Homo-oligomer: A and B are copies of this chain.
């Protein structure tokens, strides 16, 4: 089982510091030659390391060493930016689209609204150290937040806007974590090849009054996060 040796050799180089976080690995052809094997086998080893979160791939750009994952608590209101800063990471957010639309069947169901209701849809990519690691789409009940889109969603966090301008805060969060793979536009924006494994977090948020406010769906580069949380059991 040659690919095990290749894996181990690469892991060793990472742990010895010969390859450091975010560094690009040599070209596949060169690595294959170095390990005296073919590209197919080499790629098998690399894919396995990718599944383990040790390396990641950027589409048509090559393989890179994964940095430490950021720890993420979906039960905190703490937004991405603050979460990253608290962990000495460099966050950046890019607004892809923010518009008022008619709810798709899927969105309507999650928001518990009749089909074709008015909602806002906000698409964003979030970066850590200039690497795109998260694609989020928010679906928001428009009736609760008139003129939300007039406010600058690219600079301010949604939770801040909710609180400051509408007096609404999250009180209860339902979330669902699954794994899937990246496809199409999402893959592209995350600089991933279609089929790259990913972590999917879906959240539905309720306000102080128990009212459903919004929901989101988050596609994470799976090597970039570790989901960490604490649950207190009310007895």
Residues of A participating in the B interface, judged by any CB pair closer than 8 Å: 4, 40, 48, 51-53, 69, 71, 74-75, 77, 169-181, 194-195, 197, 199, 208, 222, 226-233, 235
Number of copies: 2
Give the residue of B52, B170, B181, B226 whose beta carbon is less than 8 angstroms from that of A233.
B170
In the bound complex, residues from chain B placing their C-beta under 8 Å from that of A4 are 194
- Name the contact of A51 in the complex, choosing from B48, B180, B229 (C-beta under 8 A): B180
Given A172-B231, A172-B232: 18 more A-B contacts, CB < 8 Å = A40-B40, A52-B181, A53-B178, A71-B176, A75-B231, A169-B235, A171-B235, A172-B230, A173-B230, A174-B228, A174-B229, A175-B228, A175-B231, A176-B229, A177-B228, A197-B197, A208-B235, A229-B231
- Asked if A231 meets B176 with Cβ closer than 8 Å, knowing A181-B51, A195-B48, the reply is no
Give the residues in chain B near A222, CB-CB below 8 Å: 179
* Nearest neighbor of A173 in chain B, beta-carbon distance: B231
B175 x A229 contact (CB < 8 A) = yes
Residues of B within 8 A of A229 (CB): 75, 174-176, 231
CB-CB < 8 A to A48: which residues of B? Answer: 181, 195
Q: Is the Cβ of B233 less than 8 Å from the Cβ of A75?
A: yes
> Are A197's CB and B174's CB within 8 A?
no
Least CB distance from A149 to B in Å reads 26
Question: Which of A171, A174, A208, A230 has the most B CB atoms < 10 Å from its CB?
Answer: A230
Contact call B231/A74, Cβ cutoff below 8 A: yes
| A227 pairs with B195, CB closer than 8 A | no
Lowest 5 CB-CB distances: which A-B pairs, in order?
Answer: A75-B231, A177-B227, A51-B181, A48-B195, A51-B197
